[in-house]
Amino acid sequence: MPPQTMAEKILARAAGLPYVEPGDFVEAEVDRVMVNDLTGPLTVEALRKLSRPRVAHPERLIIVLDHQTPADSVHSARLHKILREFASEFHVENFYDVGWGVCHQVLPEEGHVAPGMLVVGADSHTCTYGAFGAFATGVGSTDAAAALALGKLWFKVPESMKIEVKGVPRLPLTGKDVILHIIGKVGEDGANYRSVEFTGEAISALSMDSRMTISNMAVEMGAKAGLMEVDEKTLEFLRQVGVGGAKPVKSDPEASYVETLEVDVGGLEPQVAAPPSPANVKPVSELSSVEVDQAFLGSCTNGRLEDLRIAARILKGRKVASRVRFIVIPASRRIYEQALEEGLIQTLVKAGAVVGPPTCGPCLGGHLGVLAEDEVCISTTNRNFTGRMGSPKAEIYLASAATVAASALTGRITDPREVMAE
C-alpha cells in the first residue's frame, strides 16, 4: 500500500477503501453536514424535490442560524422559520438558533468535530475544522442535500500540498498575520483544489484560536481543505468540549506532495491585505498613511477570546478615535460569556466600541456594519473583495485583531507594536 497523506487517509477510510490516490473519484460516508440560514433553505428546497425527502442520519446534521441574525428583514425571518420547521419535522437535535454564534465556531465548540472526520458544510469556510485534523470542506447546497439524503457524497481526491511554517511568531502577531503572509506568497489560486497541510514549529507554537484562523483562510488561496496534525493542544481543546477517544490521523513519512513550501515567520511584521484581494498582502508599515472610518473585530476568522483579549489589552484605559466606528462581535455566545467574565467587554465598551450579538452580519455586508461609498474599513474578516461589506465603492483591509484594535485607536492603519509599547 503506498504511503498516504492525511487527506488521502481520511477519504480512504470514509470510502471504505484501503487507499486512494489524487484524482480518484470516491463515494464517501460523511460524518457531519452543516448548513446555515443562507444556504440551509436552499438545501431544504433541494431535499424536498426528491420523491421521498429524507435525512438519512439526523444526528449528523448541524444547523446554525448565523449570517443574518437577528433577522434584519422579513425575508431573513422567513428563512429562519423554514429551518426551524425543517429541524422539527426531521428531528434534528443539533439546531442552533439566533444568538448561539457563527457556525465555524459553534461546531468545534459544541463538540461536533473530531480528528479524522469527513465534514462538509454549505459554506466555503468549513475548512476551519482542518485545525482539528478533520478533512472539512465547503460544498453547494444541492450537494449538502444529497449528503443528507444518502449519508454520503462523491469526492475527487485532491492533491496534497505541505506548507512548513518556521519561526515562532510572538504577540501581537497571531495566526492571522501568518496566514495572510502565506496567502500573499501562494496567491489566491496557488492551492486550487489542493488539500494543504500546515506544519512546523510556528503551528505548534500557536493557540487553537490562531490555528483555526489559519485553516479558515486556506480557501482564500483556493484550497479544498487546510489540515493540521493533532497535538496536545488539540486534544486539550477536545477534552474541554467533551470529545474523547480522538483518533488522530498523521501523514506517512514518505507521503507524496505535489508541492512543499517553507515559510519563515520568525521576524514577521504584522500583515495587512489591501483591497481587492486577500492575496494583496503588505507589511503594515507600508499602509500607515491609510485612514479608516470603521474597524471591525469578529467573524468566523477572528472573533475568539484570543482576539478579544488582545484588543482589550490595547484599548484598556484609552478611547477609540472620535471619527472611527469600532464594531466588535464575539464569535459565539460562549465566547461572549467568557469575555464578560474577564471584563473584556466592559473594557471595549468603555473605550468606545459597539459590541453586537454573535453573528456573521458585517462580514458579508448583511447588517450591523454595512459600509457606504468611499468608506474605509479595517477588518478581521477573511475577504475584502469589491462590495463584500457593502458599497462597491468602499475599501476593505484585512488584518489581525491587534492591528484592527490599534487602528481603531489611532484612526489610521497602525502597527499594534507602536501602541502596545507605550
CATH number (3.30.499.10, 3.10.560.10, 3.40.50.300, 3.90.1580.10) of 271-420 reads: 3.30.499.10
Best CA proximity match to 291, nearest among 145, 138, 419, 413: 413
Strand 325-328 and strand 354-355: pairing?
Answer: parallel
DSSP secondary structure letter of residue 118: E
Q: What mean pLDDT is predicted for residues 118-125? A: 98
Best CA proximity match to 20, nearest among 223, 157, 152: 157
Spell out the alpha helix ranges (H) of 187-318. Answer: 201-205, 208-216, 232-240, 305-315
Q: Where in the sequence of the chain do the CATH 3.30.499.10 domains occur?
A: 7-263, 271-420
* CA pair distance 27, 248, nearest whole angstrom: 22
- Give the confidence band of 87 by pLDDT, cuts at 50, 70, 90: very high
- State the cell numbers at 183: 496567502
Classify 327 as helix, strand or coil. Answer: strand
CA 336 distance to own-chain centroid: 17
To the nearest whole number, what is the mean pLDDT of the chain?
97
- Give the confidence band of 422 by pLDDT, cuts at 50, 70, 90: low
319-337 residue pLDDT tens: 999 999 999 999 999 999 9
pLDDT at 244 > cutoff 90: no
Count of C-beta atoms within a 10 Å radius of residue 27: 13
* Predicted local confidence at residue 247, as pLDDT: 86
351-402 residue pLDDT tens: 999 999 999 999 999 999 999 999 999 999 999 999 999 999 999 999 999 9
Q: Which helix (H) or strand (E) holds 30?
A: none
* Predicted local confidence at residue 421, as pLDDT: 60
Question: 7-263 has which fold?
Answer: Aconitase; domain 3 (3.30.499)
* CA pair distance 251, 268, nearest whole angstrom: 28
Does the predicted model carry a pTM greater than 0.85?
Answer: yes
152-170 residue pLDDT tens: 999 999 999 999 999 999 8
- Higher pLDDT pick, 402 / 244: 402
∠ CA 369-370-371, rounded to 5°:
115
33-77 residue pLDDT tens: 999 999 999 999 999 999 889 999 999 999 999 999 999 999 999
